């Protein structure tokens, strides 16, 4: 969506400050895994494609501050009881996802640009490059849908191509809806 329709859409939205919202994040990560193998006595590199699909639903709050939209929620990870506070910020034609807690990062998606950040985990820190290939924001009365296609680099090497859909709505959501 272009910036011209953006401000009008935010003001006309039926989502109100501090509304309870449901946030569904659905993503497909297509990555490559390098392995060394032996073929007739010679070592060769095998590149294997690996797909990983993720879908989660969280409950959070929606607010608008100085024309920027904020969606706040908490995440719990499968292997930990610790939580991370997460914020999705929509600012014109860019989206920023910030996580603080057991996992910490600030990923900025801006069409056609590469944004660098750090991804901090209990197992160590990584340098991330986010290359946004497509970013669309669509709105209906009670829903904001964000569609992202981006490439991800870890420590300056291509890791995966990603498709992500984020749905923010006042309606209760279910997995695979």
pLDDT at 17 over 60: yes
Predicted TM-score (pTM) of the model is 0.79
User: Shortest CA distance to 22 belongs to which of 51, 57, 69, 52?
Assistant: 57
| Parallel, antiparallel or unpaired: strands 68-76 and 83-91 | antiparallel
User: Structurally, how many domains does the chain consist of?
Assistant: 1
| Parallel, antiparallel or unpaired: strands 42-65 and 68-76 | antiparallel
User: Shortest CA distance to 114 belongs to which of 132, 138, 98?
Assistant: 132
Q: Mean pLDDT of all residues in the chain?
A: 81
For residues 81-96, give the mean pLDDT.
92
Of the ranges 31-35, 80-84, 119-123, 125-129, which one carries the lowest mean pLDDT score?
31-35
Q: In this predicted structure, what is the pLDDT of residue 33?
A: 46
For residue 176, is it within any domain?
no
List pLDDT tens digits, range 55-74.
Answer: 889 999 999 999 999 999 99
Containing structural domain, residue 145? 3-35+45-169
For residue 40, is it within any domain?
no
For residue 156, is it within any domain?
yes
For residue 81, is it within any domain?
yes
Backbone angles phi, psi at 156, to 5 degrees: 70, 15
For residue 174, is it within any domain?
no
CATH number reported for the structural domain that contains residue 11 in this entry:
2.40.128.20
Q: Report how far residue 162's alpha carbon sits from residue 159's, in angstroms, rounded to the nearest whole number.
A: 10
């Amino acid at each position: 969506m272009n910036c011209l329709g953006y401000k009008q859409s935010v003001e006309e939205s039926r989502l109100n400050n501090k509304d309870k919202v449901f946030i569904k994040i659905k993503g497909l990560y297509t990555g490559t895994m390098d392995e060394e193998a032996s073929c007739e006595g010679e070592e060769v590199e095998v590149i294997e494609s690996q797909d990983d699909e993720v879908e989660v639903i969280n409950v959070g709050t929606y607010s608008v501050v100085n024309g920027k939209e904020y969606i706040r929620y908490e995440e719990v990870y499968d292997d930990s009881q610790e939580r991370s506070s997460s914020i999705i910020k929509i600012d014109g034609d860019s989206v920023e996802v910030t996580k603080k807690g057991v996992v910490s990062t600030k990923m900025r998606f801006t069409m056609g640009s590469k944004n660098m950040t750090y991804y901090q985990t209990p197992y160590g820190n990584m340098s991330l490059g986010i290359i946004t290939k497509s970013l669309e924001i669509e709105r209906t009365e009670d829903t904001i849908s964000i569609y992202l296609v981006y490439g991800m680099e870890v420590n300056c090497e291509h890791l995966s191509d990603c498709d992500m859909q984020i749905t923010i709505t006042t309606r209760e959501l279910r997995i695979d809806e």
